Chains A and B, each alone.
Chain A
Amino acid sequence: MSVDLEFEKLVKLYYRDLYRFGFSLTGSEADAADLTQETFYIWANKGDQLNNPRSVKGWLFTTLHREFLKICRRRKRFADEPIEENTYDLADVPVDCVNRIDSRTLVRMLTEIDEDFRAPLVLYYMEDFSYKQIADVLAVPLGTVQSRIARAKIQLLRRLSETNPPRPK
């Protein structure tokens, strides 16, 4: 298969997942498209350095996340305040609450969560990555990933129940 065809195949295979990841991180369609494009651009230049072809998906997600972090650093618009430490106060959110909101509202809620916590949470929901794979993609320890997902999930569920309270039964 020619290099061009290989590239096209790869784009068609992963551009949706990458775009969704980018959109969930940035909350902006334009930024998500730019991040996806930039990720494939980097792949075209450096992809041949990847030794294991089976880790292509992880490589692409890692690259997009790194590019996103660069944007964050440039814009400096994200607060450094960590999510509250109380991981035991689980918010019970009925599925009805989720069903009543659209994808964009959900993404907007995600973007309100601190970036360090947002990326693992998005991967937790969107992709079939194991916790180890998420840790590899984001280059953080496994325990940190699980702790961040747990805390970020509580934040998201709280926002869901606050902005869209469950209907009385």
Chain B
Amino acid sequence: MNTREAKEILQLYRRPVDDANPQFREALTHAQRDPELAEWLQEQTRCYDAIRAKLRGVEPPIDLPQKIIRTRPIPFARRWNEILKLAAAIFLSASITAIGFKLSEHKRRSIPQGQEITVKGEVLDMTCYIAYNLSGPEHASCARDCIRSGLPVGIKTENGKVYLLTGNAGKPVNTELADYAAKVVIIKGKKSIRDGFAQLQVEEIRKF
């Protein structure tokens, strides 16, 4: 290393901040052997200290800290665990409230609606009709078997409305209707509708 190279390195040297920095070690050793370089380094260091002292001599306005403290925003610590817990609690509470509403609504509406109507239509095996859209004379045999075996029975009226058919007090009417599977009949009964599903509690069956 020559003097020029050492100077290049030492122009960034600050005592004592950079004393532990290995990049300056060799150049410092060189300066110890070269009196001219050592003198230059000493002047550099004095100059550095003088500039540092000037810059650090700048004093802020006296009222600045109070101004900062006064205008500090209201702290809002973002503790994500607590925020998540709060969100879960709100969600749970909202769900319970919704279920409560649903239950009370269910109770309100479970009062028998009981409007007596008479409808004319085809007797359906509800399972095949809903799942596979099967009805009509081609499906009569299957429908009869399904109704006999106890699967739900229904009626599709001329205007396309479908009712689930039940007997009095929840008793089935499968036996009575099995022989009319896929045939048109006239049924008189009490209508109930809930959540879009219509049911007819059969009181009278007439052949068409």
CA distance A169 to B103 in the complex (A): 101
Partner of B75, one of A19, A24, A40, A44: A44
Which of A51-59, A63-71, A77-85, A102-110 forms contacts with chain B?
Answer: A102-110
Q: Is the CB of B71 within 8 A of A37?
A: yes
Instruction: State which residues 95-122 of B face A: CB under 8 Å.
Output: none
B54 touches A101 (CB 8 A): yes
Asked if A41 and B67 make an inter-chain contact with CB atoms under 8 angstroms apart, the answer reads: no
Given A90-B11, A95-B46, A128-B17, A33 and B52 contact (CB-CB distance below 8 Å): no
Residue B72, interface by CB 8 Å: yes
Chain A interface size, under 10 / 10 to 19 / 20 to 34 / 35 or more: 35 or more
Q: Dominant SS at the A interface?
A: helix
- Closest partner residue, chain A, to B16 (CB atom): A128
Given A45-B73, A88-B8, A146-B12, do A98 and B54 touch, yes or no (CB 8 Å)?
A: yes
A143–chain B nearest beta-carbon distance, Å: 11
Given A3-B75, A94-B43, A95-B50, decide whether A33 and B58 contact each other with a Cβ distance below 8 A. Answer: no
Q: How far is the CB of B48 from chain A (nearest CB, A)?
A: 7
Closest A residue to B42 using CB positions:
A95
For A98, list chain B residues within 8 Å (CB): 47, 50-51, 54
Is B180 in the interface zone, CB < 8 Å from A?
Answer: no
The answer to whether B4 and A106 have CB atoms under 8 Å apart is no
A32→B61 CA distance, assembly (Å)? 10
Within 8 A of A (CB), among B11-62: 11-12, 14, 17-18, 21, 40, 43, 46-52, 54-61
Q: Which residues of the other chain, A, contact B21 by a CB distance below 8 angstroms?
A: 130-131
Q: Which residue of A lies closest to B79 (CB)?
A: A48
Interface, chain A (partner B; CB < 8 A): 3, 7-8, 11-12, 15-16, 19-20, 23-24, 29, 32-33, 36-37, 40-41, 44-45, 48-49, 87-88, 90, 92-95, 97-99, 101-104, 106-107, 122, 124-126, 128-131, 146, 149-150, 153, 156-157
B residues with a Cβ closer than 8 A to A are 4, 7-8, 11-12, 14, 17-18, 21, 40, 43, 46-52, 54-61, 64-65, 67-69, 71-73, 75-78
